[in-house]
Structures are given as C-alpha cells and as structure tokens.
Amino acid sequence: MRKIGIDLGTANVLVYVKGRGIVLSEPSVVALSTKDNRVKAVGADALAMLGREPESIEVVRPMRNGVIADYDITEAMLKYFIKKSGSPLNLSKPEVMICIPAGVTTVEMRAVKEAALSAGARRAYLIREPLAAAIGANIPVAQPSGNLIIDIGGGTTEVAVISLNDIVVSTSVRVGGNRFDESIAAYVKRKYNVLVGERTAESAKIEIGAALPLPRPLSMQIRGRDQVAGLPRTIEINSNEITEAIQEPLEAVVNAVRAVLAETPPELSSDIIDKGMIMTGGGSMLRRINELLTEVTGVPCYVADQPANCVAIGTGLALEHIDILYDSLSGDDLN
C-alpha cells in the first residue's frame, strides 16, 4: 500500500512518499475561476498568477495560520497533490499522514482528516507539527530526555519540548514567514510610500533579511508602485531595514520560546541546556535568527539540516513507525 506523508503548510505543501523521499514541494495556492469556482491551477502554476490575475481569476491560499480556511478548496488541493505524487499505474488509495499545528482544535483536526479522506486517502492520521519536525530533524524523540524544537512555518511558529515520543509542553503562535513578509511590505509603504506585493516582500526577506544587524549590510533593489505619483518606482533597501521591519513578529517568536522554557519541568530543562534548541521550518533560514534566540534565552540554538523539509520527512517517517507512535497520533479516534 502507498504511504504518503503530507506537510500541509500555510505557504507550501510538501509530499513524502515511502521509499522515494520528498517527491513534491509546491506553494499551497489555488487559482479559481470567479465565474463558476472551477479550479484552474494549483501550486506553482497558481502562484505564478498571484498579483497578476485578471478579474476572471481569483488566487487563494486555502490554509491560513496552519489550519483550513476554505474546506472545499483544501480538498481540491489535496486531491491534486495526492494524485500528482503517485505513479499513473498505482490506482490504490494511499494511507496518509498529515501534520497539524500543536494548537489546533478538535473541529480543525476533524476538518483536515475529512478533507484527506474526501481527497482519496484510504486512512488518514494526524501528527502534531513539532513532533514531526523533531523526527525529521533526526532528534532521538523516543528517549526519556528533553528536546526543544522551534518550527517556524509560513503561518505558525510551534515551540515544544518532546520526550518519550510525545509533546510535554508546547505553544503555538499564529506568526510565521507570512507575517515577516507583511511586516516588510508595511515598512516599505510607511518609509518610502511604495506599495509592494507579498512576493516582492518575500524575496527581500530571503535575499537580504536578517534577525540581527549584519556586520556588512546587504542591499537590493525592489520595485513597486509609488503611492503619491501612482507610477512604478524602484527603491534600494538594505538588510538593517529588514531587521527593523520584522522586529514585531520576531518578538512574538522569542516570547513563545520563553513561555515554553518557563513551563518546562526542571529535569527536562537541564537536558535542553546540555543539548541546545533545534530550529526547523522555512523561517529558521532567516540569517542570524538562531543567534538572536541564543542571545535572549542563554540556551544554544542550532538550525537543523534541510530545515524546510524536516516536517515533511518526519511526517513520512512517522507513518512507517505508526505502531511506536500510535499513542501520540490523532486518526481513527476522530471518526
């Protein structure tokens, strides 16, 4: 039977297939016809239309802050990705494991599970994102020892202490890479009177963004629309300005880490001081973010290998070891 692990993220969907690894990584974006709500494009093809679409097309993100914002569109998106990840000869229904933020409600969990079953899964299990991230980052989660994981995704930041294959303490804040992008766009609008799209703001974050000022600031040119003249305009922005722009969302991430450390039992705290904290998710690739967290908490912080893929890899591996992790999963109990 086909076994598929899906990282159903706010910004991207990654699909892991047993024996093949990550086979798909595409934006969680869907383009619809405004006339009859028909799906016109999914993933990268839909993202290419974002900000450039005519009135006849609407481009939407069906996932918001790590949970389903539009059930029907999420189901269509899942159907597309499940179909695309299999070979044309394999028509059997797959067993699917989907990761969810640690802070979701039972109603939200049921919505994810039902969307997966409607999209063609034979069976659907849910794993909480921090646990999947820890497994994907190769952390020995089965041992009676504390491991602190910080997963910064597109819509949420998950912070959790994991021991004996389960979460001991966790918090989930609805701040992630998308909020960084929004903060950059708002800063450019405020400082330069220039309107930029979310894709431009994201590229500035990736190209020159940093959580702490860089010894040698980086700079780049970005294009947008001048609010006063209404004409296209090019401005130059540097990494220190990006650092200033994202102070508020960074503060929310720092506070989430502090809150979890404050609730961690003493024995597990000593383990974390010895091992340090591990960062995963696309947001952990922001320059110097691990240094910022080390600075404010006094606990060493490291970025995992392939941080953007950890959750997807962990979700797929969890499906292969379902007997060991069964107590930590949500699946058939949500019928």
Q: Where are the domains of the chain?
A: 3-27+64-131+311-334, 146-175+248-306, 177-245
Residues 208-219: pLDDT tens digits? 999 999 999 999
Residues 164-188: pLDDT tens digits? 999 999 999 999 999 999 999 999 9
Q: Report the distance separating Cα 189 and Cα 310, nearest Å.
A: 34
- Assign 89 a pLDDT band (cuts: 50, 70, 90): low
Q: Report the distance separating Cα 219 and Cα 223, nearest Å.
A: 13
3-state secondary structure the chain: CCEEEEEECCCEEEEEECCCEEEEEEECCEEEECCCCCEEEECHHHHCCCCCCCCCEEEECCEECCEECCHHHHHHHHHHHHHHHCCCCCCCCCEEEEEECCCCCHHHHHHHHHHHHHCCCCEEEEEEHHHHHHHHCCCCCCCCCCEEEEEECCCCEEEEEEECCEEEEEEEECCCHHHHHHHHHHHHHHHHCEECCHHHHHHHHHHHCECCCCCCCCEEEEEEEECCCCCEEEEEEEHHHHHHHCHHHHHHHHHHHHHHHHHCCHHHHHHHHHHCEEEECHHHHCECHHHHHHHHHCCCEEECCCHHHHHHHHHHHHHHCHHHHHHHCECHHHC
Burial tier of 212 (Cβ tally within 10 Å: 0-12, 13-18, 19+): middle
Q: With 70 as the cut, is the pLDDT of residue 91 above it?
A: no
pLDDT at 335: 42
Domain 3-27+64-131+311-334: which topology? Nucleotidyltransferase; domain 5 (3.30.420)
How far CA 36 is from CA of 39, 62, 118, in Å, comes to: 9, 17, 21
Residues 6+ apart with CB under 8 A from 52: none
What integer best gives the mean pLDDT of the chain?
92
CB 40 within 8 Å of CB 32: yes
* Dihedral angle sign, alpha carbons of residues 61, 67, 72, 78: positive
The separation between the first and the last C-alpha atoms of the chain, rounded to the nearest angstrom, is 22
pLDDT at 333: 44
- Assign 325 a pLDDT band (cuts: 50, 70, 90): confident
243 phi/psi in degrees, rounded to 5:
-55, -45
Residues 247-259: pLDDT tens digits? 999 999 999 999 9
Q: With 50 as the cut, is the pLDDT of residue 334 above it?
A: no
Domain 146-175+248-306: which topology? Nucleotidyltransferase; domain 5 (3.30.420)
Of the candidates 136, 188, 146, 14, which has an alpha carbon nearest to the alpha carbon of residue 85? Answer: 14
Residues 221-280: pLDDT tens digits? 999 999 999 999 999 999 999 999 999 999 999 999 999 999 999 999 999 999 999 999
CB 273 within 8 Å of CB 301: no
Residues 48-78: pLDDT tens digits? 998 889 999 999 999 887 788 888 899 999 9
Mean pLDDT along residues 124-136: 94
Q: Report the distance separating Cα 335 and Cα 323, nearest Å.
A: 19
Q: With 50 as the cut, is the pLDDT of residue 8 above it?
A: yes
- One-letter amino acid identity for 12? N
Domain 177-245: which topology? Actin; Chain A, domain 4 (3.90.640)
Judge whether 3-27+64-131+311-334 and 146-175+248-306 match in fold.
yes
Q: Report the distance separating Cα 257 and Cα 100, nearest Å.
A: 19
CB 256 within 8 Å of CB 171: yes
What's the pTM?
Answer: 0.90
